[in-house]
Amino acid sequence: MGNKDTLSSLYPFLDKNKSVTPDLLQSLNKKVADSIRAKQVFFQNNADKLIDAAQIIAKSYQQGGHLFAMGNGGSSCDAAHITTEFMHPVTTGRKALAATNLTADIATLTAVSNDVGKEHVFLRQLVCLARKNDVLIGFSTSGNSKNLIQAFVQAKEMGLSTIGFSGQTGGEMAKCTSIDLCLTVETDSIHRVQESHLTSYHILWDLVHSFL
């Protein structure tokens, strides 16, 4: 079997001579519908919290504060994304605002993880970098990330405002008294959770600038 035949057998929908199967279209449409439904339910349940979160962040910036973000795995990409949005606004006329992605420093992350444990990777950075009236945002699709919980506890002790984005039932983040606002995407699909998180912090960024 040649390379072309092998590719055709593995990915039949790429063959221009074959039509897309109804099953494939049905699967695609279901995923789109699920994604839309997850966002609709999330925003219906969390609209007030999202506005409150924007007010908290805007107030911090008005007081000379700083935004920190954290997450593990795919959620670390959300931490990187939201901080980039604030530091490098793509909309003309919007002010660049100070933000730090706590997942970015590989040397620090691996040193802390190796020496004292991965539960401390965000906490240690906050102790050095954060100040009272700053804001800490954490992303977790399960809500059960221990290193996020410990960082939230440390942040609250230091006088930071804390905002969590979780999924499923909210996990430990939903129960954590050190988190001022916990916005939960109530679905078991990690993909739908992350898609909703992304949409929410795009809106959050816009709301913050509106308040400023």
pLDDT tens per residue across span 12-53? 666 656 666 888 999 999 999 999 999 999 999 999 999 999
Which long-range CB contacts under 8 A does 202-207 form with residues at least 24 apart? 202/85, 203/50, 204/50, 204/53, 204/54, 204/57, 204/82, 205/82, 205/85, 205/86, 205/89, 207/50, 207/51, 207/54, 207/58
Domain of residue 98, CATH code: 3.40.50.10490
* Residue 149 located in a structural domain: yes
Q: How many domains does the chain contain in total?
A: 1
Span 133-184, pLDDT tens digits? 999 999 999 999 999 999 999 999 999 999 999 999 999 999 999 999 999 9
* Residue 51 located in a structural domain: yes
* Residue 11 located in a structural domain: no
* Residue 152 located in a structural domain: yes
pLDDT score recorded for residue 177 = 98
Span 51-95, pLDDT tens digits? 999 999 999 999 999 999 999 999 999 999 999 999 999 888 899
* Residue 9 located in a structural domain: no
Per the structure, the complete domain to which residue 97 belongs is given by 19-211
The answer to whether 82 touches 197, Cβ cutoff 8 Å, is: no
* Residue 2 located in a structural domain: no
* Residue 10 located in a structural domain: no
Give the percent of the chain with pLDDT over 90: 87
* Residue 6 located in a structural domain: no
